């Protein structure tokens, strides 16, 4: 039976396919899991009061030109190139936003904090961010709020009171269901899998894994979770970690989940080089362009994601609505340009939509 567990680094080598007792995986926070129904019945978001932060002494920005900086986890990878494009597209469409994307070239929280702090000092009206660590980033975001700067997150959240709104690409339990269902379909109900993630505390990946564990235990209870390894959103490390898993578990390993847009193609490449296509399934989150070579060769059958261009586009529209005073505590929806009205969930989150599964039949229709 699958076990929900947070793997301490020192214990990684000891984890194998047999059952073991371990503390519950909580995704680096104390949030409860909420697995969706096994039969696909949609879940309903519970009503919750606004729990975001508020800027102190923010000037009247309604309709005025604003300067915004976007600080993602890192720059220079396909996924955040796509969100940056969406942000720039929305800013151009709005016509009253100057925006730039800037940030570290590695998924390093200390560097990300430094970038944000420098832009607070230099002076901006708004900050968009995707957090490398939800807790560590909170103080600098609260500093921004204290200076009257509007703060909106996307992709990876902070503590809620450290920003005003968070644009969630898809609900965590929805992503979890899509990943687990597709893996079970490919490897069977009693096979073993491992996970390659960024870090154990990166907020979105950690929550997805928590929900995956809960959903699998509920709906696919005979799946076996072998191990979770960290790869820092580094291509070489992700490849090496996947290769290590392949060598370590041999024929017992039937599937690898990639939890980042870097880990998934790197895992697919590791499976390819090990001549294990068709023997080890790779299911994960990645951009379609990165996965097309593996999907077209039938080495990967399921890529789960959303449109990151739309995610960035939505985040920019949300920040503009906040700056204009059109999106306030208690709102139930927000207008997001060509995306139409987006739903407010969980108090201070904006939901982009349901996850999408890219397959050989449709992956060629997308270019990002």
pLDDT in tens, 148-187: 999 999 999 999 999 999 999 988 899 999 999 999 999 9
CA dist 215 and 257 (Å) reads: 15
Single residue among 305, 321, 347 that ends a domain in this structure: 305
Q: Distance between terminal CA atoms of the chain?
A: 37
CA dist 317 and 90 (Å) reads: 7
User: Which CATH number fits the domain that encloses residue 97?
Assistant: 3.40.50.2300
CA dist 268 and 243 (Å) reads: 10
| Residue 112 backbone dihedrals phi, psi, to 5 degrees | -65, -45
- In a domain, residue 103? The reply is yes
Based on the fold, state whether residues 278 and 358 are members of the same structural domain.
no
Q: Which secondary-structure segment (H or E) carries 166?
A: strand 165-168
CA dist 154 and 137 (Å) reads: 13
CA dist 329 and 347 (Å) reads: 8
Burial 105-136 (b: 16+ CB within 10 A, else e): eebbbebbbebbeebbeeebbbbbbbbbbbeb
- In a domain, residue 41? The reply is no
Number of domains in the chain: 2
Each of the 368 residues of the chain gets a pLDDT tens digit; together they read: 443 333 333 233 333 333 323 344 555 667 889 999 999 887 665 678 999 999 999 999 999 999 999 999 999 998 999 999 999 999 999 999 999 999 999 999 999 999 999 999 999 999 999 999 999 999 999 999 999 999 999 999 999 999 999 999 988 899 999 999 999 999 999 999 999 999 988 888 999 999 999 999 999 999 999 999 999 989 999 999 999 999 999 999 999 999 999 999 999 999 999 999 999 999 999 999 999 999 999 999 999 999 999 999 999 999 999 999 999 999 999 999 999 999 999 899 999 988 889 999 999 988 88
Based on the fold, state whether residues 268 and 334 are members of the same structural domain.
no
Single residue among 270, 287, 305 that ends a domain in this structure: 305
pLDDT of residue 312: 98
Is the pTM higher than 0.85? The answer reads no
Burial 197-223 (b: 16+ CB within 10 A, else e): bbbbbbbbbbbbbbbbbbbbbbbbeeb
pLDDT of residue 41: 83
- In a domain, residue 42? The reply is no
- In a domain, residue 354? The reply is yes
Based on the fold, state whether residues 147 and 70 are members of the same structural domain.
yes
Beta strands of 13-147 (E only): which ranges?
66-71, 97-101, 126-129
Based on the fold, state whether residues 212 and 260 are members of the same structural domain.
yes
Based on the fold, state whether residues 218 and 334 are members of the same structural domain.
no
Q: Which range marks the domain in which residue 184 is found?
A: 9-30+172-305
Based on the fold, state whether residues 163 and 94 are members of the same structural domain.
yes
Based on the fold, state whether residues 159 and 177 are members of the same structural domain.
no
| Residue 67 backbone dihedrals phi, psi, to 5 degrees | -105, 125
CA dist 228 and 208 (Å) reads: 13
Query: What residues contact 200, with CB distance under 8 A and at least 6 apart?
Result: 6, 7, 28, 206, 228, 230
CA dist 339 and 167 (Å) reads: 13
Sheet architecture: strand order including 97-101: 97-101, 66-71, 126-129, 150-154, 165-168, 349-351, 341-345, 333-335
Based on the fold, state whether residues 296 and 312 are members of the same structural domain.
no
Single residue among 288, 305, 322 that ends a domain in this structure: 305
pLDDT of residue 153: 98
- In a domain, residue 198? The reply is yes
Give the pair of three-digit tokens for residue 158: 């902070």
Based on the fold, state whether residues 21 and 117 are members of the same structural domain.
no
- In a domain, residue 180? The reply is yes
pLDDT of residue 46: 61
Give the pair of three-digit tokens for residue 130: 């995707």
Give the β-pairing of 333-335 and 126-129.
unpaired
Give the β-pairing of 341-345 and 349-351.
antiparallel
């Amino acid at each position: 039976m699958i076990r929900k567990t947070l793997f301490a680094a020192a214990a990684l080598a000891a984890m194998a396919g047999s059952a073991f007792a371990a503390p519950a995986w909580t995704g680096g926070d104390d949030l409860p899991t909420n697995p969706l129904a096994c039969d696909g019945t949609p879940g309903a978001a519970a009503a919750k009061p606004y729990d975001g932060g508020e800027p102190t002494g923010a000037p009247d920005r309604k309709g005025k030109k604003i300067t915004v900086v976007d600080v993602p986890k890192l720059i220079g990878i396909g996924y955040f190139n796509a969100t940056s494009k969406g942000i720039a597209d929305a800013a151009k469409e709005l016509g009253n936003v100057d925006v730039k994307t800037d940030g570290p070239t590695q998924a390093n929280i200390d560097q990300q904090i430094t970038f944000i702090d420098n832009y607070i000092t230099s002076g901006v009206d708004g900050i968009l961010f995707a957090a490398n660590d939800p807790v560590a980033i909170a103080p600098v975001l609260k500093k921004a709020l204290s200076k009257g700067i509007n703060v909106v997150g996307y992709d990876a959240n902070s503590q809620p009171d450290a920003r005003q709104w968070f644009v969630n690409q898809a609900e965590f339990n929805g992503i979890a269901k899509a990943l687990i269902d597709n893996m079970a379909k490919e490897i069977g109900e009693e096979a073993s899998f491992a996970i390659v993630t960024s870090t154990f505390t990166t907020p979105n990946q950690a929550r997805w894994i928590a929900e995956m564990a809960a959903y699998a235990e509920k709906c696919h209870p005979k799946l076996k979770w072998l191990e979770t390894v960290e790869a820092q959103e580094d291509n070489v490390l992700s490849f090496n970690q996947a290769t290590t898993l392949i060598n370590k578990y041999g024929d017992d390993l039937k599937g690898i989940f990639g939890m980042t847009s870097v880990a998934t193609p790197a895992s697919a490449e590791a499976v390819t080089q090990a001549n294990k296509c068709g023997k080890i399934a790779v299911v994960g989150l990645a951009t379609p362009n990165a996965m097309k070579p593996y999907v077209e060769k039938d080495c990967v059958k399921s890529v789960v994601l959303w449109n990151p261009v739309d995610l960035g586009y939505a985040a920019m529209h949300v920040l503009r609505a906040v700056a204009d005073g059109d999106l306030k505590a208690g709102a139930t929806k927000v207008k997001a340009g060509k995306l139409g009205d987006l739903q407010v969930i969980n108090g201070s989150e904006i939901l982009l939509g349901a996850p999408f599964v890219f397959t050989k039949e449709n992956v060629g229709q997308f270019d990002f």
